[in-house]
A and B are shown apart, each in its own frame.
Chain A
Amino acid sequence: MPRTLTLTRTRLAALLAVAALALAGCGGGDGSGDGGSGAAAPGEIKVFAAASLTAAFTKLGERYSSANGGAKVTFNFAGSQALATQIQQAAPADVFASADVPNMDKVKDLVGTPRSFASNLLAIVVEQGNPKGVEGLDDLADPDLKVVLAAEEVPAGKYAKQILDQAGVSVTPVSQEDNVKAVVTKVSLGEADAGIVYVTDVTAGGDRVEGVDIPPDQNVTATYPIATVKASQAPEAAQAFVDLVRSAEGQQVLKEHGFLPPPTT
């Protein structure tokens, strides 16, 4: 009996050690590198941002960290509609950047005054080399062409529907993806022939995809608002991130990723 007990204790200790290691591994994996203190470091923030902002905001997050003594920025990139719902359900967000105004309006009681910080146009994304010879919106109506769109709940899907409706083109998509990046993925894997995404997603999609322009008279402008979340535990840091995004430096980073300046109103 005592022997089994010891064995069990040893096992328990081993198990705890493994668990501790796993936890430590998680902490280290986040890339902060500066010790594992339990309390949130000053300036540590969680930014909920539209999926289309993934590359630009990751870059801005690095800038923010280095300007604030390594303060950590954690991003939650997803469809703006999903992020708005998460904020409504009291998810711990400090900053919300949406790819459209309606989803920002959905949480208007929970956030500070939203400010536009960028705009974006839409484009047709096709595989590198454009094997199906897609030249414009009219080609998307071809029933033999596999077209993937973002779901209508997703801002990019809503914009795509607007564009197609305006142009009077009827498209039957093979899938309605949950966020705009998934549309690019399906095209870059070769599963879909074309999709409608933001111009910036084509750039971020790399060598496997290319864009077909949608002419200005058929295009729509996506406006991106950003706001701090009222329930934030780090309001100053949240404001600092918003300020960085709207600063000349932030605008430059966004421009490098293909975003346009916010509409001047």
Chain B
Amino acid sequence: MTTRSRAPRLFAVPAALAVAFLTVPLVGLLARTPWGSIGTELTSPRVLEALRLSLVCSLGAVAVSVVLGVPLAFLLARVAFPGRNLVRALTTLPMVLPPVVGGVALLLAFGRRGLVGQWLDRAFGITLPFTTAGAILAEAFVAMPFLVITVEAGLRAMDRRYEDAAATLGAGRWLTFRRVTLPLIGPSLFAGMALCWARALGEFGATITFAGNLPGVTQTMPLAVYIALETDLEAAIALSLVLLAISLVVLVALRDRWFPTA
């Protein structure tokens, strides 16, 4: 069945506008890039520090998300426990919640006077705001749902007969998960981690609200862009370019998944 050339001709105009709308800002960014000084901008201590911190925090957020999120995805996909839909809805909420609201909520929960935070402070002397751990927490809060829904979708789509076969051959649940399920959902897990990582890397609102802004401790790349924009446009552009490049890499890495026929 061929379906080419069956689109209404009028679509060409709004479609072209959409393409322009989505790409012109990127062109604007590239047009204002100080190519001559970009090397010195990118190797300045503030940029390197923000970049290092962004990598630490975003990878930390992915690690937290994998450790907690994969088991959650597994239970959501396989076990019909009561309230499953509610749990799924609640755990995906951070995806649609404005990140600043997430930051306020995190403060009220994990802040020094927060619901859990005051207890953490009293019992262990742990306070999360203004720490790198706090930045990781803020990023994991907004990014983990991306991993959970992607992995859950992968688990639902896989052919469960392989698991059944493993079970009939005497493999226990843990062995089956490790040797059969995990390899089968590998692509979903990879895509989920990539999405989760990209979201964590770009996190701004929850981080600045919950973790504050201190170079080397909680000032990740997006925060550095925001602060730099107020005094040093060229540094802001240089930092933005780095984030743009990373986004492109993620897009290219996931292209087979998102555009399977291309």
Contacts and interface: CB of A to CB of B under 8 A. Distances in A.
Interface of A: 79, 81-82, 85, 146, 148, 151, 153, 173-178, 186, 189-192
Nearest to B131: A174
A146 B229 contact: no
B113 A85 contact: no
Given A151-B213, A191-B112, A175 B218 contact: yes
Report, as a range, how many residues of chain B touch the other chain. Answer: 20 to 34
Contacts of B127: 146
Contact of B227 (A146, A151, A174, A192): A151
Interface of B: 107, 111-113, 127, 129-130, 208, 211-215, 217-219, 226-227, 229-231, 233
A153 B226 CA distance: 12
Secondary structure type dominating chain A contacts: loop
B213 A191 contact: no
Contacts of A189: 107, 111, 113
B11 to A, nearest CB: 16
A81 B226 CA distance: 12
Given A85-B229, A146-B130, A151-B227, A177 B112 contact: no
Given A189-B111, A190-B113, A191-B107, A153 B227 contact: yes
Nearest to B212: A175
A191 B231 contact: no
Nearest to A79: B230
B214 A173 contact: yes
4 closest residue pairs by CB, A with B: A175-B212, A174-B130, A190-B113, A82-B230
Contacts of A192: 130
Given A151-B213, A189-B111, A189-B113, A81 B231 contact: yes
22 contacts: A85-B231, A148-B212, A153-B230, A153-B231, A174-B217, A175-B130, A175-B214, A175-B218, A176-B212, A176-B213, A176-B215, A176-B219, A177-B213, A178-B208, A178-B213, A186-B129, A186-B212, A190-B111, A190-B112, A190-B113, A191-B129, A192-B130
A62 to B, nearest CB: 27
A36 to B, nearest CB: 27
B107 to A, nearest CB: 6
A176 B211 CA distance: 11
